[in-house]
Homo-oligomer: A and B are copies of this chain.
């Protein structure tokens, strides 16, 4: 271990925010490679090119670092979705874009999903953080569905779609997407875009039309 000192990188002066992102990049990489339990703060510090005391000083214990990493990845995912889902688009286009961004994100970060998300789910101590992220996503989806209903009710005969219906629909959509994301993470050969299309078919058309061989297609080429 002592030998390492001489080869340690010189720590450049960088703004705190940049340093933190470097640490989180390193944390995501190491947690994904080793899993929460086997990951060491030494490896994370080394990968970030930052001293271990500095990692502790900036982001706290390994547990706090994991939560920070999970939180950042979750935020990135939601930002990737929010960036493409425009409020003014028709609801099927919004759902399609949201699903494509979601599965695209998972497909591009298969290791991160498999380890970060599954570890978070499989550790009681991270249950709170994960439940909170999930609630936020469900709220966003329910809101999107609500606006879709509003928009439609302007020109179709409005039958009652209650708030609880939207909430339940959002739970179902998010649960289905999580389940398929797990499937995608386990199938390195599977195409994220195609997975999004399949999910879109189930969510938008429903099993009835799908079993009859009908499918939904995006309007863009």
Contact = CB atoms under 8 A, between A and B. Distances in A.
B212 A152 contact: yes
A201 B160 CA distance: 14
A187 B95 CA distance: 27
Contact of A209 (B206, B211, B215): B206
A41 interface: no
Query: Which among A127, A160, A210 has the greatest number of chain B C-beta atoms within 10 A?
Result: A210
Interface in A141-178: 145, 148-149, 152-153, 156-161, 165, 167-169, 171-178
Interface stretch (A23-31, A48-56, A70-78, A118-126): A118-126
Contacts of A205: 206, 208
Contacts of A210: 161, 165, 169
Interface residues of A, number: 53
A177 B122 CA distance: 19
Contact of A122 (B122, B178, B206): B122
Kindly report how many copies of this chain are found in the complex they form together. 2
A121 B211 CA distance: 31
Interface string A34-52: 0000000000000000000
Given A124-B123, A204-B206, A213 B161 contact: yes
Query: Which among A145, A160, A168 has the greatest number of chain B C-beta atoms within 10 A?
Result: A168
A213 B180 contact: no
Contact of A174 (B124, B127, B179, B206): B179
Nearest to A36: B124
Interface in A183-221: 183, 195, 198-199, 201-215
Given A157-B213, A204-B207, A179 B183 contact: no
Contacts of A95: 207
By Cβ-Cβ distance, the 5 closest A-B pairs, closest first, are A175-B179, A206-B206, A159-B213, A172-B176, A176-B176
